[in-house]
Each structure stands twice: as C-alpha cells, then as structure tokens.
Structure 1
Amino acid sequence: MLMHIASSLLAPYVAVTAGELFDKLEYPPQKELGDVSLPCFAFAKTMRLAPQKIAEQFAERINADQSAVRALAVGGYLNLFFQADHWKSDIVASASETSYGHSDIGKGKRVLIDMSSPNIAKPFGIGHLRSTMIGNALVNLYRATGHEVINVNHLGDWGTQFGKLIVAYRKWGSRVELELAPIKESLRLYVKFHEEVEREPALEDEAREAFARLEQGDPETRDLWQYFVDESMKEFHKVYDRLGVSFDHFTGESFYNDKIDAVVRELREKALLEESEGAQIVRLEEQELPPCLILKKDGSTIYAVRDLATAMYRKQALGADSILYVVGAEQTLHFQQVFSVLGKMGYTWAEQCRHVPFGLMTVNGKKMSTRKGKVVFLEEVLDEAVQRALDIIDEKNPHLPDKQTVAEAVGVGAVIFGDLKHHRQLSVDFNLEEAVSFDGETGPYLQYTHARICALLRKGDYEVLQGEHFVNGAHLSSETAWECLKTLSRYDAALQEALRDHEPFAVARFLLDLAKAFNRFYNSGKIIADDADKTEVLSKLSLAAAVANVLKDGLGLLGIKAPREM
C-alpha cells in the first residue's frame, strides 16, 4: 500500500509513470532510513546530476508540498517517512478489505501452469511436494492478480519405464499382490527390475520390446498399462485432496502421441532436422546450446519432441498467452533446448514459455531414488504431521471442538509451509519435527497467531463494537502498532514480488514478518483493558482483525488453511 502511495506521490516530481516508479522503489534495510526509498542513480544520466544532488532536489520539493510524508536525501537515495497519524486509519481500513493486496493487473491474460507431474505406477513421494505446492501457490497468485489460469498435470504415463514395469510384473509379480497395494507393489517390481538388470542386461531389450508392443496397441499390454494408470490416479487424487490441490486438466504424455508426427514433419519441412550418427537433431549452436535430439537411431521419439508437441497444443488449442513449467532445476538445459527449437520453428510465443526451476528436496540429508526404492511416501509424511499436531492439541487444548479437522489443517499446512518458506531454487532438507513446531518460522506459528487473534476478537465483542464505534488512529500511537501497520501495508508489494519472481517465498516471508510484528504489538500492552474506552478497544481490535484477514488470505494463497480455533 505505502509503496503504491509512494509511486503515485513521486511520479509528478521525477517525470516517470507511477507503474515504472513502483518497480524502482525499495524498502530500506533499517527503519531509521525511512519507510520507502527511491534510488536516484538511474536518473543521473538524463538529469546530468550526481545521484545525491538529485535526491536533495526531490526532497526539497516534496517537503515543500507534502505534509503527510517527509523526504530525506541520503547518499543518492530519496528516503520517505510516512507520517503515522495521517496513514493509520487508512491502512487499517484497506487491510480489512477481503480483496486487500489483490489486483486486476493480469486481466485478459491467460496463463497455463504445468505442475506436479508425478509418474504413473510410482509413489507420490515427498519429492513431488515442491512442484505441486510451488505450482499451486503460483496458480493462486496469478488468479489473485486477475489472470485467467489453466493448471495442467502433465502425468508421466509413457516411456520405456512401462516396458520395465511390464517385464517385472510378468516375471516376478502377481495380480493378487498388485491389487492389494498397487503403488507399493509397482515400486517393488520397478526396484526388482533394476536389481536384476545388473545381473542380466538382456532385460533392457525385453523392456524395450514390451514398450514397443504397448506403442503398437497390443491389447494385453495396453490393458495392463491402463490398470497402472487407473490405480495410480486413485492414489494421486487422495493426496491432492488432502493438499487442497485441483487441476483443470490431467493430460499425460500419452495424450500427445498422435500429435508428434506432425511436429517431426514440420521440422523436416522447415529444414531444421539434421542427421547425426544416425539420429535426427536440431542444431542450436547460435544459442550456444548442444543439439536437441528429436529422433533416435531407430526412429523412435524422445521426450523433447513430445514437449514440442505439448507446447504447441497448449498455445494453439488452449490459447495460452504464457506457459510456465514448474519443474526441477535438473531439467534447465532440456527446456532451454525446447524453447530454442520452438523459436527456430518461427514461433515468437516461445518467448512466453518459461521454466520455473526449483532445488532438490532431501529428507534428513538423504536423496530420494525410485530405482533404489529410497522413497518417502508423501501421504505417510502427512499422516505423521497430522498425528504430531493432534498430540500437541491434546496436550494444550484437549477440549477443542473438531480437533481432528484442525489437526489435519495444521499438519498438512506445516508440511506445505516447510517447503514454501524457502527460496524455490535452494535445495530443501525437510525435517518434520521442525516443520510441525508451533515455535519459530513455521506454518503452525502463523496459524496459531491467526487463531489467537480470532479468540481476541471474540473476547472483545469486536462485531458488536464495530456497529457502535469508529476506528481512531490516535489509539494506535505506540511504536509497535505503527511497525505492525507498516508491515501490513507491504502485502500488495509482497504479492507483486512473488508474482514477478515466481517466488512464493516472498509471501511466506511477509507472513512471518507480519505475525512477528503483530505479536510484538500484542505483547507491548493490553488490547482489551478494563479501564479503556470502547473506541480505543475497537481501534486496537481493528488492527488485530486486519492482521488476521491478511494472514488468512496469505496462507490461502500458499494453499494453507487458517483455523479460527486451535
């Protein structure tokens, strides 16, 4: 809020639009340096003055014209100090609105987000959490800023891995065991194949033959593949329901099988395919990239050409203006090649395709591997997190109504926040005990702060007071109240930063800052005092209610519920 006010206020002085100014503004590293800061270095060339001199000129003019803001020039920065008494009530009023921080900046733009994408017949491990929840947060952020969003689950339901699984099932599996536990038995068989192939390399040829029969439509092989798909989807939906994640489209790799030949034909017609050691490639030297393999020596396709067909379908059939791929950082080169090939094909919209990479997730320092059977099932992690949350509730508030539902919200939210509180490109070592703690920078800490405010509002008859009195900023005179208000005012900027950088961390970090600022205010003096007049109580409760409103909204954007009682 203050950032937007500052950009509008400064625009007439610096001859730049408010929108352009907004991107240049910063928050000073220490509160003593002001509330919002404008670096003046960018104006030095056009104004032919030193940045310090430019800042001094701007400050002099602003201080002569404005009373609600004080300007100070410090080393090439124009620092603005918002006068608290003028802005308190406005901040409370704005932050109390249900749509506070949201905007329509994306109106008329359609964004497609490719996210989650687990592999069929393999467990939904905790490693899949990152793509799923980073992607889900981006879906929510884009929708909160007016974009039309299509989210797609690009399931890994095709490839030689199914040949391996089919061979393993026919050699070492049984229908009875498979039906008892489809995913765990599939994992056992997949691991068994990779153990046996080290002793018997010919199994790889059998797997390729089995997949070839699948591609050719062999009825028995196709039926077995379909069984794996159907059973996997049942398990996936269970996990998605618990995470609160839904999709507009489940379109696996197999969906694009009939679209690949057209892509290969177009590459040939545009003279982009070249033979290299029997294979067909597209050269990308001008982009300083290795060649993109399109067809293997035997004429079979690989997933690069499948991703070309996928991108073209998403643009042409689904009408996406931009396409985001929330996929691990290890696929960076692959997407650089795919986007470059699309560009060479003449598709200028390839510039609107973006890979949103994220770092590896380990568990207690250990990397996951499906081939070796080293997988931590996400559903088991959620179960344990919920049980730990329930144990804490039983200890602290055993008579809490509907405590199982609350424990589910807290446990699942703890796992989600334990991921999203990190920069997405950093590797994350997940620790369940830390994630479920009610102390420190955790999801439960934020949820508890929200629930504590809700209890405070009930105790203070907030809804009754609203009808009888008005908010008076004079009652929010403490330093902790002003710091809390200023933190509240940064919500819209946090959402825009998260969207600009595709970084849900920006929202998570803001929520932690807000909860800490509120708790300092809460602990600095009584909010509901026996000797206080009702206007003072209402004013303080209104600040608390605004914080609760923003905490709930921000947690919701991250995919986390905010219980009213804990």
Structure 2
Amino acid sequence: MDHKLQVATKITEALAGLGVQDFPFEKVSSMLETPPNPAMGDIAFPCFQLAKALRKAPPAIAAELAGAISGAPLKEVQVAGPYINLFLDQHVVGTDIISAVLTQGNAYGSSEDGQGRNVPIDLSSPNIAKPFSMGHLRSTCIGNAIANIMEKKGYTPVRINHIGDWGTQFGKLIVAYQKWGDEAKVKAEPIKELLKLYVQFHDEVANDPTLEDQGREWFKKLEDGDAEAQHLWEWFREESLKEFMKIYELMDIKFDSTNGEAFYNDKMDRVVTMLEERNLLTESDGAMVVMLDEFDLPPCLIKKSDGATLYATRDLAAALYRHETYDFAKAVYVVGGEQRLHFQQLYKVLQKMGFDWAYEMYHIPFGMMLKDGKKMSTRKGKVVLLEEVLAQAIADVKKVIEEKNPTLANKDEVARQVGVGAVMFHDLKNYRLNDINFSLEEMLTFEGETGPYVQYTHARACSLLRKGNYQPTTEPTLAEGALDSKEAWAVITALSQFPDIVDRAAADFDPSFIGKFVIDLAQLFNKFYANVRILAEEEDVKQTRLQLVAAVVIVLKEGLRLLGLKAPEEM
C-alpha cells in the first residue's frame, strides 16, 4: 500500500475539482516532497507550478486546495505559505505497513518485473596464480549483491566468474618457475609461492631485459599447445582455483559459471569472420580495427599486426556466447572504472554488428580499494590478501564474543558471519564509484555505520521478541495509540520505503542504497528501543510494539541478505 500514491490521487482529484486540467496524477506524484523536518508533516506539496494555471499567488492556491483534500490515509492538512503540509494517520498507515511486512515476510519489496529472464553478471574475475587481494573484493561483493537485488526484482541472475587465465603473464610465470621455482613449495602454498615468483620476475627484468622476450616466447608456446607449457598452465590454474574456492565458501558466494578467458580461445575466429562479413574491419599500421569515429571513440583493436587477437576480440566472443546461451534481458559487467573505454568500444562494436541486445549491456564501474590512501599493486607485491583479512576479522570477532557473551551457542559460526560480514559491508555501504580506504579496525566496530552494528541491532530485536513471548501473526491488530511516538513513526516510515529502495538499487546497479537503508533503519530502531517501553506495558500495547519489532527483524534480515550478509539471531 503506497500511501504517497494515495495522497497524489487525492491532490489530483482536488485539482480537477478546481478546474485544473494540466496536472495529471503522474505530474502531481513527481511534485510531492518530503519535508526537511518531520514536524512539518510527512509529505509536502508545493503550489508554485499552479500559479500560471490558476492565475493566483501560490499561498492563495495552497489555502484553497488544502480545503479540498481530506480522508484516509490523511490525519491533518496544514498550509505553510506556498506549501501544503500533509500529515498521515499513524494508526492507519502503521497497520498497513506492519501488515504488509508480516504477511509478505522476506518477499516484502519483491516484484516480478524481470519475469524470470536471465541477467548474466560478470563479477570477481581474479587472475590465476595471483592472490585474491582486497582489490578483488569490490567486484565480488558488488556483483553478488547486484545478483541478489536482480533476483528480488524477478530476474534470474547468472553469476559468471570470468577468471583471468590467459595472457603473456603466464609466459612470464612459466619462465620464473623454471628458473627459481620449487614444486614442493608451490604445492604447499600455491598462491603465495606463485606470487613470489611473479614479483621476482619483475624485479629481475630490471637487470635482465631478455626475460620479457623469454616470457613472450613461452606464452606463444602455450598458445601453440606446447605440452610442457600446457601442463604448467593447467597446474597453476587448478591450484589457484582451489584457493579461490576457499574464499568464496567463506563469503558464501557461488557461481553458475567459471569459464575464464581461455574458454573463448576457439570462439574468437568466428568474431573476426563476422566482422569481415559485415565489412567492419579496417587495416591500421598492419593491425585490424573497427573504426568508431562516429561515437567519438578511438578504434577498437581486434587483431594485432602479428595476427594475435586481443581482449576486445575475446570479450566480443564472450558477449555472443552469453547471449546465445542465456538469451539475456540485460548483461552486467562489474569491472573497475579503468576499463570504461574498453566497454564503451565493446558495446558500440556489437551495435555496429547489428545486435540490438547490445543496448542492454551495462558496465558497472567502481572505485579502488586503497591502502593508506594508495593503490595496491600485485606486481610490486604491495597487496593486502583477502584471505588474511577475513581470517583476522573472524578471529577479532571471536575474541569480542568470548569477552561479552562466552556462553553463546555456535560461537564459531557467528564469528564467521559477523567477521566476514563486516568486511563485505564496509565495501557495500559506500557509493560504488567512491574509492575505499582499507581499515580493519573501522570495519569491525560495533558502533557507527558498520555491518556488526546492523547485525547486532537485528540480534537485539530478536532477543526482544523472545523476551516478550511474541506470537507471530499475519493479521496484526494494533492497539490505538501504541505506536503514536515519533520514534515508532520514524521506524514505520522507514519500513514503508524499503520497496522503493530496492527499486533504486536495481535501477542504478548500486547496493549502497540497501547498505545506507539498513544503517538508517537500525539507528531508528535503536532510538525507538531506547525511548519507548516495549515490554513493560499492557499486553495489547506490548504485542503491538512487538509486531513493529518483528517487522524490523524481517526487513533488516532481508536487507542484509541482499548484500550477501547473514543476520545472526544471537550475538
């Protein structure tokens, strides 16, 4: 029940009664505002735009129009100069909102907009033989949350981990392993040892530039199917994936496909042929390109002068494969902002090829994860390993539990949910284009805008329901006046906004809408908890307030779930 739309309908009808024809429902609805101060009402309607139609001053119009607006869900209508301030009936609206949440449960805020259609989401995509760093966290968390949000909107997300398992770096790694590698060490700690070799290669290049040529030679051997190169590449890939899967398991993130770059090796010739057939290829300095002058973009490089295909060719092949395999409604790529030009070129080439579905492909960029204000670099070995961060976060939370609640059941599981959740939430509460500074201390505090704060609020609300012997119901009957406080009304108002927040997060492919919302809801609930006696009241008042608490539990848990976090009932 959208009370804002009900109010818009009433205003539209009142305007029609005054003979105003040019203000249909959609326009009136878009003009509604939220007053800066709750004392000024729940909804405000400015009358400036009506001055021309009615040939009167806005304050006079406001006074006249206000007299024609009344009835549920409104309790009071006030005039404040050129504004009409509308106050909703807290009992009526509270009953509607709490009923909607308790009846629908975790489906509250869901829709069938997507009609079950597929949305492939390219996320995470770490590089083989390199550690899963904090830098990869962003694509992983944001992509997983977008998948959850799209599913809530009725789409079928397809999580694709487009592993970086091809390229010249594998030639370099093969050279480094042959020169300085130790099989036993690699087997014991694959990622750490392979990273060490990769960093050593780049250190040694300064003294011996021929190493670069050797790296290129070995990658050419790999491309040509050389047995030794193939064997080492497969081994590096397998060991790396095992390590990555441990991290994904910890974060409870699953994939529908782990087809990496190498998967498309035999699918790129077809792309080149298709471009040739459409007369889209142009020769430039011996290379083959698609010109994009009409879009003010540089040419898209398809084949180098030596005949080697490039990232763009591979991604064109991947896009075709995904459309043919999934017949997608939208295709989403959660990849850092530095790849913006690459994706602009990719989509324009597909559009020039005549594929209308390319207009539904979206690059979702995000800011960098910084350490002490600086970018992390694998090549220089300046990297914070996600596995170590998660392990530390879990250990720190376990320590807090041992101090504060040593008898807690499932301590290890709760420590994992809160520790891992803290790291993920720190990323997701931020607008995705902003850079984030890594700070474990900031992530783990139980105060302020953090995952543990929201999870603890959820656990506190669950505890209240247990203590109050709350009886679940899908047909709440609210005791008159039980939710008349400003604190209760602020919580009800927030709950009513959740479906709209989900819509905005889906439209912008930005989970931070949900992150900010659960923080706000948790803060408003804690004010309600601090200022209103919930348990020590008459039974009907107590049950009414517990019904509001139960609604908060449902929405907080669902908000956290959309972000990929768990909501422990005890902490």
SS state at 1:128 partner = helix
1:357 and 2:362 matched? no
Native 8 Å contact 1:315 1:321 kept in 2: no
Distance 1:75 1:267 in 2: 64
Superposition deviation, residue 55 in structure 1: 7.7
Corresponding letter in the other structure for 2:95: S
CA 1:548 to 1:469, structure 2 compared with 1: closer, same or farther past 3 Å? closer
Corresponding letter in the other structure for 2:551: A
Question: For the aligned residues, what is the CA RMSD?
Answer: 2.6
CA 1:313 to 1:54, structure 2 compared with 1: closer, same or farther past 3 Å? farther
CA 1:555 to 1:294, structure 2 compared with 1: closer, same or farther past 3 Å? same
Mapping 1:70-109, distance limit 5 Å: 70=76, 80-96=86-102, 97-98=104-105, 99-109=107-117
2:18 matched to which residue of 1? Answer: none
Q: Deviations over 1:315-337 (max 9, x none)?
A: 12221121111010111111111
CA 1:469 to 1:212, structure 2 compared with 1: closer, same or farther past 3 Å? closer
Mapping 1:399-414, distance limit 5 Å: 399-414=407-422
CA 1:220 to 1:360, structure 2 compared with 1: closer, same or farther past 3 Å? same
CA 1:164 to 1:95, structure 2 compared with 1: closer, same or farther past 3 Å? same
CA 1:26 to 1:289, structure 2 compared with 1: closer, same or farther past 3 Å? farther
1:562 and 2:567 matched? yes
Native 8 Å contact 1:110 1:320 kept in 2: yes
1:436 matched to which residue of 2? Answer: 444
CA 1:121 to 1:538, structure 2 compared with 1: closer, same or farther past 3 Å? same
Unaligned runs of 5+ in 2: 16-21
Distance 2:402 2:552 in 1: 27
SS state at 2:270 partner = helix
1:185 and 2:190 matched? no
User: TM-score scaled to structure 1, two decimals?
Assistant: 0.93
Select which of 534, 556, 560 maps to 1:551.
Answer: 556
User: TM-score scaled to structure 2, two decimals?
Assistant: 0.92
CA 1:513 to 1:158, structure 2 compared with 1: closer, same or farther past 3 Å? same
2:546 matched to which residue of 1? Answer: 541
Superposition deviation, residue 390 in structure 1: 1.0
2:218 matched to which residue of 1? Answer: 210
Native 8 Å contact 1:58 1:78 kept in 2: no
Superposition deviation, residue 29 in structure 1: 3.6
SS state at 2:157 partner = strand
Superposition deviation, residue 224 in structure 1: 0.9
CA 1:77 to 1:120, structure 2 compared with 1: closer, same or farther past 3 Å? farther
SS state at 1:490 partner = helix
2:337 matched to which residue of 1? Answer: 329
Distance 2:569 2:401 in 1: 14
Native 8 Å contact 2:90 2:483 kept in 1: no
Native 8 Å contact 1:133 1:416 kept in 2: yes
Distance 1:253 1:497 in 2: 33
Superposition deviation, residue 41 in structure 1: 7.9
2:311 matched to which residue of 1? Answer: 303
Distance 1:132 1:337 in 2: 24
2:521 matched to which residue of 1? Answer: 514
Native 8 Å contact 1:40 1:76 kept in 2: yes
2:434 matched to which residue of 1? Answer: 426
Superposition deviation, residue 78 in structure 1: 6.2
Select which of 465, 479, 487 maps to 1:480.
Answer: 487
Select which of 389, 395, 414 maps to 2:403.
Answer: 395
Native 8 Å contact 1:419 1:430 kept in 2: no
Question: Identity percentage over the alignment?
Answer: 47
1:316 matched to which residue of 2? Answer: 324
Native 8 Å contact 1:55 1:74 kept in 2: no
Unaligned runs of 5+ in 1: none
CA 1:119 to 1:541, structure 2 compared with 1: closer, same or farther past 3 Å? same
Mapping 1:362-377, distance limit 5 Å: 362-377=370-385
Aligned length: 561
Native 8 Å contact 2:11 2:69 kept in 1: no
1:527 and 2:534 matched? yes
Corresponding letter in the other structure for 1:31: P
CA 1:467 to 1:75, structure 2 compared with 1: closer, same or farther past 3 Å? closer
Native 8 Å contact 2:6 2:73 kept in 1: no
Q: Deviations over 1:473-511 (max 9, x none)?
A: 521111111111111111111111111111111111111
SS state at 2:391 partner = helix
SS state at 2:362 partner = strand
Corresponding letter in the other structure for 2:191: I
Q: Deviations over 1:21-59 (max 9, x none)?
A: 7777554443244334567788999x6979958984994
